Structure 1
Amino acid sequence: MQQSGASNARAYLLLLIGIAALAFTAPWVKLSNFEPATSAILRCTIGLIALLPFAYIEVKKIGALNKQGVILSIVAGLFLGIDFTAWNYSIFYVGSGIASILLNLQIIILPALAFLFDRERIPKSYFIIAPIMILGVVMSGGVFDGTSGTTEGPSTVYGMNIAILGTLCGMTSGCCYGIYLYTSRKATKVNMRQIVQPMALATAAQLVAPIIFMTFFSDRGFDLVNGVMVSGALPMNPETTLGDPITTMNWFWMLVLGILGQAVAWTFVQYGSVRLNSTIVAGLLLLSPISTVAIISIILFSEIPTSIQVLGVVIVLAAVAYQNNLHKVLFKKPATKKVA
């Protein structure tokens, strides 16, 4: 019993460390200031290098992943690579805090996939929560009031309103994140003890999407010279204007992003998620976007959301909480002992 308690405490500790790292991930992307596809490639490469020694130790200690686990981990990583690339653009277009909120669209995607492929029952509340969630996401992105969530910069990018484009990027990211969660959950079910190996394989597969995007759709290519922002803000013509030269500090934040935001965050969250109650995990995971939008992004970048965006954020977080049954935990009456 004591061993179980110690194991539980360790799972909580690692989960909270992972959540703290996730809360800073979007700000670290912005602080590193690399071109979005380049940023995704560097982040995954650094994360993979950090994970490989631990993956090797795991193979020696408890064995390698089975074939199904390998396939599922790779598929999960392919979609997470799309997620990262789209999310990086969203961070620069609507701000690190709002981008973190848009990512929560995954709560609509994950149950839908589980229903389609695993025949898992969808609660009736899903059909009410889903449209409310989409409305909250659109409001959070600043679509209704035309703001990008940043204090200065262009109002349009590639001929499109920056708030709309940033929201679309964030929604794409959230959809792909939902697919990642679905496939990684199945990978975990067929390999309950292996944690690092699925993360390492998924991280390697994440390189595919940004490399394809960089090769065929970006004019910048693999840019290690110039960033995105100029003096901490998007230039008025980000399509053609290069950002500030990449500095030692930008590389420092990229290393932090790759090691803590990639290797540590995802592995620790996965470790805690498979060992703790899913409702508790869902509740604790909400601390990450809340911290990013309400504290970190405001302090670091002065990203002050409008009243409509704040309402959208509240709607999204409330929808996430309800869909994960957090309301049942909060309003659950404590059991009373019967006196004989």
Structure 2
Amino acid sequence: MSRTARQGSRLLRHPAWGMAVGALCVSASAVLLGLARTDPGTASFYRCVLALPALMVLAVPERRRQGPPSGGQYGLALLAGAAFAWDMLLWTQAIAEVGAGLSTVLVNVQVVLVPLLAWAIDRESVPRSFLLWVPVILLGVVLTGGVVEGGASGSDPRAGTLHAVLAAVCYSVFLFLLRRDGHSGLVRQRYVLVIACAAVVSLFAGRFAYGLDLTPGWKVMGWLLAVAVSSQVVGWLLVASASPLLSSHVGAVLLLLTPVGAVALGAVVLGERPTLLQLVGCVLILVSAYCAALREIRPRHRPDRGADVGAPGPEGTAD
């Protein structure tokens, strides 16, 4: 077993930590894409293609032990990959329009949508306290997008807000399917299918709508390779492995570590300067989501210290 695989296995004995580390790894992608300065289609295509060799190597031991996925698992993985591709395309477009850190915050309206999808489709219970915070979270999204004032870091905050919210819908579908299909096992093989499908969709969408440069230059390729490693190989693989072991709203809240890291990195690395109201919006999103889920997180971690935290519990169904 490789060193990366061993470290991932240790993290997944504590799925909340695995999700948190994965989210922080993903947070770097917004800033790295800002440094790459390339078309959304080029970025989305190459961040998937460059990750595939490493992901296929990681999936080989799983295939030898457990065999290939079933037909149904293939279908869900391909659908998740298509949703992920559109999320990346729309979100990368939004980075230039509303800024790297803030576009990441906007797309994290998933903290509302993923639990609602789990409730509507899988009948997973959603805490009432969480639903009470939904209006506050949405207010935070409006403030963060710079709709109230014109001081966003990007070139077009209103268009960026629209693109980021559309990305959030695709992102939420992707997260829901990734978690839902994860209960059946074969996480690494299915994740390879997700990324391969996302690469194909990004190739065609980039060619006809979002721009695609198959020879972007070594500098751009270097930044995209960094995105592929930090986000696709490490970050999202940890999220794919940890999310089935957590309830939908707890996983969604832990993914809010992504905008926290992105806002900090955007300010330090790219020199982005969000306005006061935008910072208030960020705080509203993060604090309200944390408070909404706090009551649900505490019972899961405190009483079970003597239990095997690596084993799937009731988190995958209702609370």
TM-score, normalization by structure 1? 0.77
Preserved contact between residue 111 and residue 249 of structure 2 (Cα < 8 Å): no
Would you say how many aligned residue pairs link Structure 1 and Structure 2?
A: 293
Preserved contact between residue 69 and residue 188 of structure 1 (Cα < 8 Å): no
Q: Measure, in 1, the Cα distance between the counterparts of 2:274 and 2:91.
A: 18
Q: Which residue of 1 aligns with 2:256?
A: 286
Q: Measure, in 2, the Cα distance between the counterparts of 1:14 and 1:123.
A: 23
Among candidates 239, 243, 247, match of residue 273 of structure 1: 243
Structure 1, 51-60 or 206-215: larger mean CA deviation: 206-215
Preserved contact between residue 99 and residue 153 of structure 2 (Cα < 8 Å): yes
Preserved contact between residue 58 and residue 196 of structure 1 (Cα < 8 Å): yes
Among candidates 18, 43, 57, match of residue 22 of structure 2: 18
Q: Measure, in 2, the Cα distance between the counterparts of 1:8 and 1:262.
A: 19
Among candidates 264, 283, 288, match of residue 319 of structure 1: 288
Q: CA deviation at 1:9?
A: 5.1
Q: Which residue of 2 aligns with 1:195?
A: 187
SS in 1 for 2:68: coil
Amino acid at match of 2:227: L
Q: Cα 1:217–1:143, aligned 2, differ >3 Å: closer, same or farther?
A: same
1:133 and 2:137 equivalent?
Answer: yes
Q: 1:254-269, aligned counterparts within 5 Å?
A: 254-269=224-239
Among candidates 253, 261, 284, match of residue 223 of structure 2: 253
Among candidates 18, 27, 30, match of residue 34 of structure 2: 30
RMSD value, Cα? 2.8
**If each structure's helix is expressed as a fraction of its own residues, which one has the higher value?**
2
Q: Cα 1:111–1:17, aligned 2, differ >3 Å: closer, same or farther?
A: closer
Q: Which residue of 2 aligns with 1:118?
A: 122
SS in 1 for 2:38: coil
**Percent identical residues:** 28
Q: Which residue of 1 aligns with 2:306?
A: none
Q: Which residue of 2 aligns with 1:81?
A: 85
Q: CA deviation at 1:288?
A: 2.7
Structure 1, 260-269 or 281-290: larger mean CA deviation: 281-290
Q: Cα 1:28–1:144, aligned 2, differ >3 Å: closer, same or farther?
A: same
1:223 and 2:213 equivalent?
Answer: yes
Q: CA deviation at 1:279?
A: 7.5
Q: CA deviation at 1:30?
A: 1.1
1:167 and 2:161 equivalent?
Answer: yes
1:298 and 2:288 equivalent?
Answer: no
Q: CA deviation at 1:97?
A: 0.6
Q: Which has the larger Rg?
A: 1
Q: Measure, in 2, the Cα distance between the counterparts of 1:135 and 1:84.
A: 24
Q: Cα 1:116–1:257, aligned 2, differ >3 Å: closer, same or farther?
A: same
Q: Cα 1:53–1:7, aligned 2, differ >3 Å: closer, same or farther?
A: closer
Q: Cα 1:16–1:317, aligned 2, differ >3 Å: closer, same or farther?
A: closer
SS in 1 for 2:272: coil
Amino acid at match of 1:71: G
Preserved contact between residue 106 and residue 144 of structure 2 (Cα < 8 Å): yes
Structure 1, 163-172 or 256-265: larger mean CA deviation: 256-265
Q: CA deviation at 1:224?
A: 4.4
Q: Cα 1:279–1:87, aligned 2, differ >3 Å: closer, same or farther?
A: closer
Structure 1 unaligned residues grouped into runs of 5+: 1-5, 155-161, 226-245, 336-340
1:184 and 2:174 equivalent?
Answer: no
Amino acid at match of 1:178: S
Preserved contact between residue 11 and residue 271 of structure 1 (Cα < 8 Å): no
Q: CA deviation at 1:329?
A: 5.0
Q: Which residue of 2 aligns with 1:144?
A: 148
Q: Cα 1:112–1:286, aligned 2, differ >3 Å: closer, same or farther?
A: closer
Preserved contact between residue 11 and residue 272 of structure 1 (Cα < 8 Å): no
Q: CA deviation at 1:63?
A: 1.6
Amino acid at match of 1:326: L
Q: Cα 1:276–1:127, aligned 2, differ >3 Å: closer, same or farther?
A: closer
Q: CA deviation at 1:29?
A: 1.0
TM-score, normalization by structure 2? 0.81
Preserved contact between residue 110 and residue 252 of structure 2 (Cα < 8 Å): no
Q: CA deviation at 1:8?
A: 5.3
1:45 and 2:14 equivalent?
Answer: no
Q: Measure, in 2, the Cα distance between the counterparts of 1:301 and 1:66.
A: 44
Q: Measure, in 2, the Cα distance between the counterparts of 1:167 and 1:308.
A: 15
Cα deviation digits, residues 30-79 of structure 1 (max 9, x gap): 11222111110111111223211222332112221222222111111111
Structure 2 unaligned residues grouped into runs of 5+: 1-7, 304-319
Q: Measure, in 2, the Cα distance between the counterparts of 1:327 and 1:216.
A: 47
